[in-house]
Amino acid sequence: MKQLAEIMKDIAAQSLSRGEVDLVIGWQKGPLWWQSYPAFIEGNEGNGETGSLTWDSFCVPNLSRYLLEELPERKKVALFVKGCDALGFNQILQDKRAEREKVVLYGIPCTGLVDPDKVESAGLGRGLLEVKRDGDELVFVYDSGEQKAQARDFLYDKCLTCRYPNPVVYDQMLGEAAPVQPEERFESVQELEKMDADERFAYWARQFSRCIRCFACRNACPACSCRECIFDIPEPRWLGKANELSETQFYQIIRAYHVAGRCVDCGECTRVCPVNIPLQELNRKFIKDINELYGEYDAGVDPEQEAPLVTYKTDDPAAFTES
């Protein structure tokens, strides 16, 4: 993966120095092993900062979402997109919150990213200096030496079910296509569907009771692109500010509904949730049902296609008895 990082640095330096773009969004490495965060490099040749760009198993934040803030002030922006980021980008296009011609996309084939919580739970976090990817393996680097393990055991759950590891949209692809081998993604949804109503309610009530209403799930979502969010509007105040179960249910139901048919299943909501609410399983319920009722649809694959809940057919089926 080092190699890919070098290509990224070169290409960023080139496009900035040639004046093709006035901003490059990539990732930079923080001081701790799990920290790879969005980096914004601008100016001619990036003021020498392009060398700080990185690509490793922790470059998980979706960069396309930043276009909502950055694009209006820029002539042209380049960014690196993994498969999920590319879907997010297309969704932003479909929602008319970005212009394709103002963006240069460098595609990154992604073999899955590492969940720091899984590393910690396996007891590998203490004294860890660096985690390197070597094919199907991870190399954990400590002062005392190295340790190897199967990468798959440490990937984010969302990566294990990823169906688009390779970007569906790009201007230039960096590297060979990654293998596509997703696990079944609706398993958890199906498990929940098997429960009875009261069990399901108790399950979700327990999850929601942990919600601290930080709005990270909304703010990380590439489909949550409204200029003014309904939850922020003071008048009328739809969402009460008290951390009460009923209000949290309202928040989480409406949040999921607002992205129904537009959720690209990138799983960022689940990743950023500080209290482990399986939010992706809410969004996936909508995806699964829409697929069943109105035909298979993958948000973010084709920005020209209409999202399923903003269109209809006259002979659509209904999930209620029509008479």
Partner 1 sequence: MKKIVKDKLPSLWEQLSSQATLFLPVEQDGVVNFAPWEEGDSVNLEALNTVVPPKNVVFPQTETYMRFKVENDKLHIEPFEQNGPYVLFGARPCDVAGITLLDKVFLQEPEDGLYSRRRREGTVISVACNEPDAACFCTSFELEPGMAPGADIMVWDMGDYLLWKAQSEKGEKLTGSVENLLQEAAEEEQKAAMELKERVTAKEAAAAQEMGWDPSGVKETLKDMFDSDIWEQFFRRCLGCGICTYICPTCHCFDIQDYSKDQEGGRFRCWDSCMFADFTLMGSGENPRPTRKERVRQRFMHKLCYYPSNFGLYACVGCGRCVRKCPVNLDIAQVIKEVGGVKSGSE
Partner 2 sequence: MAQNNLLLPQVAVVEEISTETSDIKTFKVASQGGGSPLEFLPGQCAMLSLPPVGEAIFSITSSPTEKDYLEFSIKKTGSVTNFLHEIEEGYQLGVRGPYGNGFPLEMLKGKDLLFIGGGIGLAPLRSLINYCLANRGDYGQVDIVYGARTPDDLVQRAEIFDNWPRASNTNVYLTVDVEWEGWDGHVGFVPQYMEEIGFAPENRIAVTCGPPIMIKFVLEGLERMGFKPEQVITTLELKMKCGVGKCGRCNLGDRYVCKDGPVFTYAELLNLPPEY
Partner 3 sequence: MSLAQEQAFEPLIVAFCCNWCSYAGGDLAGTSRMTYPANVRVIRVPCSSRVSPNLILRAFQRGADGVLVAGCHPGDCHYVTGNYYARRRFSAMRRFLEYLGIEQERFEVHWISASEGSKFAAVMGEVTEKIRALGPNRKLRDAR
The contact set with partner 3 (CB under 8 A) reads: 189, 192-193, 197-205, 230, 238, 242, 244-247, 249-250, 253-254, 256-257, 260-261, 282, 285-286, 289-290, 293-294, 308-314, 316-320, 322-323
- Given the complex with partner 3, which of 162 and 260 has the nearer CB atom? 260
Neighbours of 151 (CB within 10 A): 21
- Given the complex with partner 3, which of 89 and 208 has the nearer CB atom? 208
- Given the complex with partner 2, which of 182 and 240 has the nearer CB atom? 240
38 binds partner 1 (CB under 8 A): yes
250 interacts with, out of partner 1, partner 3, partner 2, none, CB within 5 to 8 A per kind: partner 3
| Number of chain positions touching partner 2 (CB under 8 A) | 3
**Interface with partner 1 in residues 208-247 (CB under 8 A):** 210, 212-216, 218-220, 232, 234, 237, 240-244
CB of 240 to partner 2, least distance (A): 11
35 binds partner 1 (CB under 8 A): yes
Cα separation, 99 vs 65, whole angstroms? 13
In the chain, the DSSP E strands lie at: 23-29, 36-42, 77-81, 103-107, 128-134, 137-142, 145-150, 172-173
Cα separation, 96 vs 77, whole angstroms? 16
51 binds partner 1 (CB under 8 A): no
Cα separation, 323 vs 233, whole angstroms? 38
- Sheet containing 36-42: order of strands: 36-42, 23-29, 77-81, 103-107, 172-173
Beta carbons of 9 and 48 less than 8 angstroms apart: no
Beta carbons of 213 and 255 less than 8 angstroms apart: no
Q: Are strands 137-142 and 128-134 parallel, antiparallel or unpaired?
A: antiparallel
In Å, what is the CA distance from 51 to each residue of 26, 46, 131, 219? 11, 9, 20, 29
Contact residue for partner 2 among 73, 198, 228, 235 (CB under 8 A): 235
- Given the complex with partner 3, which of 32 and 253 has the nearer CB atom? 253
The end-to-end CA distance of the chain, in Å, is: 59
Beta carbons of 283 and 256 less than 8 angstroms apart: yes
The angle formed by the CA atoms of residues 270, 274 and 278, to the nearest 5 degrees, is 30
310 interacts with, out of partner 3, partner 2, partner 1, none, CB within 5 to 8 A per kind: partner 3
| Number of chain positions touching partner 1 (CB under 8 A) | 44
Cis omega (within 30 of 0) on the bond before 236? Answer: yes
Q: Which region among 96-104, 120-128, 164-172, 230-238 touches partner 2 (by CB under 8 A)?
A: 230-238
- Given the complex with partner 1, which of 31 and 317 has the nearer CB atom? 31
Q: For binding to partner 1 (CB under 8 A), which residues are involved?
A: 30-33, 35-40, 61, 65-66, 69-70, 117, 125-126, 128, 206-207, 210, 212-216, 218-220, 232, 234, 237, 240-244, 268, 271-272, 274-276
Q: Which residues bind partner 2 (CB under 8 A)?
A: 234-235, 237
